Chains A and B, each alone.
Chain A
Amino acid sequence: MSAAVRPKLELLRPELVESIVEEALAVLDSQGMFIENEEALGLFAEAGMKVDRPVRRVFITPALVRKCLASTPSTITLYDRRGERAYTVGGDEVHFDPGSAAVRILDYRDQVERAALTDDVVNFIRVTDGLDHLHFQSTGLVSGDVPDMVADSYRLYLALLFSGKPVVTGTFKTAGFRPMCDMLTAVRGSAEALRAKPLAIFDACPSPPLKWSNLTTQSLIDCARAGIPSELISMGMTGATSPVTLVGTLVQHAAENLAGLVICQLARPAAPVIFGGSPSSFDMRTGTTPMGAIETMMIDMGYAQIAKSLRLPTHAYMSLSDAKVNDAQSGLETGLGAVLAGLAGINVVSGPGMLNFESCQSLEKLVIDNETCGMVYRLLAGITPRETPAALPLLEAVMRGGEFLTMPHTRQWFRKEHVYPKIADRDTYDAWVASGRKTMNDRAHDEVERLLGSRPPDAPPAAAAAELLRIMKAEAARYGLDRLPPVKGLDA
C-alpha cells in the first residue's frame, strides 16, 4: 500500500522565500547588528568582520552567513533523561512542549491568576510528564518563592527531578548557564555524554530591531561550546519593533536569527541551532502582542518555511492563547495554532498550557491542549490507503445482511484510523446533564487530579538526584538562600 500524503501548508512562493533571505543578508551587511557582548565582538573581529566597537555594531557579510549556514546541522536529536528515547528535531517532525517561562498560574478553584510557587511548578512538570502528546518538558513556569537570581536554575532543577522528558529552558543571567549545564551533565554523567545526547534546548531571544543583548549572546556562545542546542527566538512586533508588513517582519526576523546562528557557529562550528521565534502581530488598539492573532501564526509559518529552505530545524510559539481563562477564545486560538504549526511542519512547537500573552500557565489547559495536539498528530498522519478495494467487499457483506460494527475489519482498523478524546465532550445531552454539566475546563481539572494522584513522579537515579540537589544548594547559597523551599515528596 502507498503511504499517506503528509498534509502540508506553505504560505510563501519559493521566489519570495529567496528574496526575503537575500534582503536579510543585505540588512546584516549594510545595517549590521548591535551586539552587546564583548566575547562575541571578538569572534566577529577574528572572522574578519567590520566591528564598530564604541557602539558595538557588527557588519556581517553574506559570505560569512553562508559559511555558517553550511556548518549548522539540519537535524538535532534530543534524548530523554534515560538517554533511551530519541526525538528528531528537523525535517517535518512536530514536537509540542508547554509554552515557556510564565510567572503566573491560573488557579482552578477561584479562576484567578496568582504567582506560581514551588508546588505549582512541580505539579506543572508532573502533569506535562504524564501527557503523551507533549513530547518535551519546558521550564514553563517560574517559581516565585525563590530569589530572582536563582529562578532560572531552580526551574530546570525541578524539571529534571520530576520528569524524564527532554527540556526546553534558558538562562535569566549570564552566570545562570554554569549551574544549569552542570545539572544536565550530572544527569548524563559527563560533558561528552551530554554533547552526544542533548537533553535540553536553551532559548535565546534577540531584542528587536537588530540587537542581541549580552545575556542572550553569552547563552548562545556557552551552549555552542557545550553542544546544547540554542533556539533563536526573534520576536518582532509588527509596526512596533519591526516593519508592519508581514514580509517586512520576516526579513528582520531572518536577519536577527541568522546573526544568532553566526554567533553560535563562530563559537563552535557545527553547533546545534534551531531557527525559532516569538514574533507577533502588534495590536494597534491595546498595544499588546496577541499570540492568538492569525497574522502572528502566518508570520510563524512564513519563517518556518524560510528556515526549511535553509535546511534548519524550526521552532515557534504556537498553540497558545491570549484569553485569561479556558474559554472559547482559548480553545479557538490554541486549536488554530496547533493545526497550523502541524501543517507547517514546525519541529518544536511551544505553547500548550499558556494563556494571557505568554505570561500565565494553566494545568487544565495543558490537559486540554494535549488533546488538541493528539488531534494534530492524527491529522499529520494523513489518510492512509489500507487496502484495495477499500469498501467493495465490506459493502457486499452488508448487502448480504452483515453489520459494519461487528465486522472483524472494523475491529482491526478502528483504533488505527481514529483517535478518541478523553476530555472533549461527545456525550448525548442527557448524559452530559447526568454527569454534572461539566465544562471542558472541569473535566480537564478532574484529569489533572487523576494524573497528580495516581501517577508517581518520574524520578532520576538517586545519585543523579543527589548531585542535582548539591548543585542547586550551592547555587542558592551563592545568592544568599540558605534553604530551598520544601518540595512535596522530597526530603531536601
Chain B
Amino acid sequence: MSSPEIFESMRTAVIEGRTADAERLARQAVAQGINPNEALERGFIPGIRRVGELWEQGEYFLPELVTSAECMKAALAVLKPELDRARQESVLRGKVVIGTVEGDIHDIGKNLVAAMFAANGFEVFDLGADVKLQAFIDKARAVQADFVCLSALLTTTMLNQRRFMGLVREQNLAGSFKTLVGGAPVTRKWAEDIGAQGYAENAMAAVRLALSLFPQAKERS
C-alpha cells in the first residue's frame, strides 16, 4: 500500500470504528518505516477529527464516538512505543489519568469522559473503577500527566475527591498536574470547596474544560 493509500485507510478505519483494522494499519505503517507522527497526523488524527465533526453535526451518536476513540487507542498502543524509541515527541495533546475513586464501582460516566478525551487527541490512562487515591498520584507522576480526572457517583465516595486533594497537597504536587472532578453528585461549588482545578458536568464539557486550562494543547492540534 502506498503512503497516501494507507493514510486514507487509517482515516476511514477510525471513522467507521474498525478497531482491529486501525491496529493492523498502525503495525503496517511501522513495518513500512512510516514515521509514527506522520501516521498520526496524516491518517488517524484526521479520522478522529472527522468523527468529532460528525458528532457536532448530530450525525454520530455515542457508540460511534466511543468505538472511534477505541480505534485511536489501538493505533496509539502500537505507535507510542515507536515514538518513544525514536525519542520523538508525540503530536498528541496532553496526558490524562482518569478513574473512578476508591469505594465506587460505577464507571460508565468515567468511560465516556475517557473516550471523549481520546477522541480529541489526548493520551488517556484509564485506571478503571474503585481506584486507590495513591494509585492516581503514582500514575500521574510516572507518565507526567497534565490532568488527573476523578469520577464519583455516590455522595459518600465523592468525599474521596476531597481526600485526594489533601494527598496532593501533602505530597507537594500542587503544581504538577491539574485535578478535574465529576460525577452525578458533584457540583462546581464542590470542586471549588475542595480546591480542584475544574469541574465538568459531562464528557463534552470535560474536554472543553481541559482545552481551556491547557492552551498548549490547542496549539499542538
Q: Is B185 in contact with A103, judged by CB distance below 8 angstroms?
A: yes
Which positions 77-122 of chain B face chain A at CB distance < 8 Å?
A: 105-106, 108-109, 112
Question: Inside 8 A of A103's CB, which chain B residues have their CB?
Answer: 155, 185
How many angstroms from the CA of A148 to the CA of B112 in the assembled complex? 28
Question: Inside 8 A of B155's CB, which chain A residues have their CB?
Answer: 103, 148, 151, 172
How many angstroms from the CA of A244 to the CA of B67 in the assembled complex? 15
Once A103-B185, A148-B155 are accepted as A-B contacts, the answer to whether A285 and B62 lie under 8 Å apart by CB is yes
How many angstroms from the CA of A240 to the CA of B106 in the assembled complex? 11
Whether a CB of chain B sits under 8 angstroms from the CB of A239 is: yes
Chain B: number of interface residues, binned into ranges: 10 to 19
CB distance from A112 to the nearest CB of B (A): 14
Cβ-defined partner of B62 (8 Å) among A148, A211, A241, A284: A284
Whether a CB of chain A sits under 8 angstroms from the CB of B202 is: yes
CB distance from A102 to the nearest CB of B (A): 12
Which positions 102-154 of chain A face chain B at CB distance < 8 Å?
A: 103, 148, 151
Whether a CB of chain B sits under 8 angstroms from the CB of A428 is: no
How many angstroms from the CA of A103 to the CA of B159 in the assembled complex? 17
Closest to A283 in B: B62
Q: Interface residues of A: mostly helix, strand, loop or mixed?
A: loop
CB distance from B58 to the nearest CB of A (A): 7
Q: Is A286 in contact with B202, judged by CB distance below 8 angstroms?
A: yes
CB distance from B61 to the nearest CB of A (A): 4
Q: Is A148 in contact with B156, judged by CB distance below 8 angstroms?
A: yes
Cβ-defined partner of B156 (8 Å) among A172, A239, A241, A284: A172
- From A151, A237, A286, residue with most partner B Cβ within 10 Å: A286
Whether a CB of chain A sits under 8 angstroms from the CB of B33 is: no
Question: Inside 8 A of A172's CB, which chain B residues have their CB?
Answer: 155-156
Whether a CB of chain A sits under 8 angstroms from the CB of B203 is: yes
Q: Is B61 in contact with A207, judged by CB distance below 8 angstroms?
A: no
Q: Is B61 in contact with A237, judged by CB distance below 8 angstroms?
A: no
Question: Inside 8 A of A240's CB, which chain B residues have their CB?
Answer: 108
Whether a CB of chain B sits under 8 angstroms from the CB of A486 is: no
Q: Interface residues of B: mostly helix, strand, loop or mixed?
A: loop
Q: Is B108 in contact with A241, judged by CB distance below 8 angstroms?
A: yes
Interface bits A205-246 vs B (CB < 8 Å: 1, else 0) = 001000101000000000000000000000001011100100
Whether a CB of chain A sits under 8 angstroms from the CB of B4 is: no
Question: Inside 8 A of B185's CB, which chain A residues have their CB?
Answer: 103
How many angstroms from the CA of A211 to the CA of B105 in the assembled complex? 9
Question: Inside 8 A of A244's CB, which chain B residues have their CB?
Answer: 63
How many angstroms from the CA of A36 to the CA of B62 in the assembled complex? 30
Q: Is A237 in contact with B62, judged by CB distance below 8 angstroms?
A: no
Once A207-B105, A241-B108 are accepted as A-B contacts, the answer to whether A287 and B62 lie under 8 Å apart by CB is yes
Interface bits B47-74 vs A (CB < 8 Å: 1, else 0) = 0000000000010011100000000000
Q: Is B105 in contact with A285, judged by CB distance below 8 angstroms?
A: no
Q: Is A287 in contact with B105, judged by CB distance below 8 angstroms?
A: no
How many angstroms from the CA of A151 to the CA of B63 in the assembled complex? 37
CB distance from A218 to the nearest CB of B (A): 14
Once A211-B105, A213-B105 are accepted as A-B contacts, the answer to whether A285 and B156 lie under 8 Å apart by CB is no
Interface bits B174-215 vs A (CB < 8 Å: 1, else 0) = 000000000011000000000000000011000000000000
Q: Is B58 in contact with A287, judged by CB distance below 8 angstroms?
A: no
Question: Inside 8 A of A359's CB, which chain B residues have their CB?
Answer: 184
Closest to A286 in B: B202
Q: Is B63 in contact with A284, judged by CB distance below 8 angstroms?
A: yes
Closest to B58 in A: A285
Interface bits B142-169 vs A (CB < 8 Å: 1, else 0) = 0000000000000110010000000000
Closest to B106 in A: A207
How many angstroms from the CA of A36 to the CA of B61 in the assembled complex? 34
**What are 16 residue pairs bridging A and B, where the CB atoms are less than 8 Å apart in the complex?**
A36-B105, A103-B155, A103-B185, A148-B156, A172-B155, A207-B106, A211-B105, A213-B105, A240-B108, A244-B63, A284-B61, A284-B62, A284-B63, A287-B109, A287-B112, A287-B203
Given contacts A172-B156, A285-B62, A287-B109, 15 further A-B contacts (CB under 8 A): A36-B105, A148-B155, A148-B156, A148-B159, A172-B155, A207-B105, A211-B105, A213-B105, A239-B62, A284-B62, A284-B63, A285-B61, A287-B62, A287-B202, A287-B203
Interface residues of A (CB under 8 A from B): 36, 103, 148, 151, 172-173, 207, 211, 213, 237, 239-241, 244, 284-287, 359
Enumerate the 3 nearest inter-chain pairs by beta-carbon distance, A residue then B residue, closest first: A284-B61, A284-B62, A240-B108
